[in-house]
Amino acid sequence: MAGLSRADVEHVAYLARLGMSPDELDRLQGQLNHILDQYMKLAELDTDAIPPTAQTIELENILRDDIVTPSLPQAAVLANAPKSEGTFIVVPPILGGEAT
């Protein structure tokens, strides 16, 4: 596995929607590569026949009856919204802009 190039770091930062200065990106590149080196240790283990563990608790398919129960009042939901209008949260425009 190759280490992270500067372009990789910028790409991952963009995927994670983290805005960072060039200095931050430089620092991060070194730190991330140092941490990624630790991951190489896992290659020592033969895990072909080992199932993955996603959860340590043996619960499956917890369901509830499809009954309407009280939820948060609208006012409570809207109270933290940076921008709201009536009963709506105002979101930045997604469609029709230059962003992909």
Partner 1 sequence: MTSDLTGLLAHEMAAALRAGTVSARDLALAHLERAERQNHALNAWLLIDRAGALAQADAADAVLKRARAEAPAVLGTLHPLHGIPVGLKDLISVEGGQCTAGSRILEGYRAPYDAHITGRLREAGAVFIGKTNMDEFAMGSSNEYSAYGPVSNPWDLDTVPGGSSGGSAAAVAAHHVPLSLGTDTGGSIRQPAALCGIVGMKPTYGRVSRYGIVAFASSLDQIGPFARDARDAAALLHAVVGRDERDSTSAPIPVPDELLHLPESDDEAVAWLRGKRLGLPREYFVAGMDPDVERRIREGVAFLEDAGAVVEDVSLPHTDYGLATYYIVAPAEASANLARYDGVRYGLSRRLDGADFIADYLATRGEGFGAEVKRRIMLGTYALSAGYYDAFYLKAQKVRTLIKRDFDEVFASGIDALVAPTSPSVAFRFGAKTSDPVSMYLSDACTLPVNMAGLPGISVPCGLSEGLPVGLQLIGPAWSELMLFRAGRAFEGLTAGATWKGQEPTALVDADGAHGPTPADRAALLAASG
- One residue of 7, 23, 56, 66 binding partner 1 per CB under 8 A: 56
13 binds partner 1 per the rule CB under 8 A: yes
16 binds partner 1 per the rule CB under 8 A: yes
Contact 25, 13 (CB under 8 A): yes
Query: CA 21 to CA 3: how far, in whole Å?
Result: 21
Contact 8, 1 (CB under 8 A): no
Task: Give the helix/strand (H/E) hosting 13.
Answer: helix 6-15
34 binds partner 1 per the rule CB under 8 A: yes
CB of 68 to partner 1, least distance (A): 15
Query: CA 9 to CA 26: how far, in whole Å?
Result: 9
Size of the site for partner 1 (CB under 8 A): 55
End-to-end CA, the chain:
29
Kindly list the residues in this chain that would bind partner 1 in the complex (CB under 8 A): 1, 4, 8-9, 12-20, 24, 28, 31-32, 34-36, 38-39, 41-45, 47, 50-57, 59, 62, 64, 72, 76-77, 79-83, 89, 91-94, 97-99
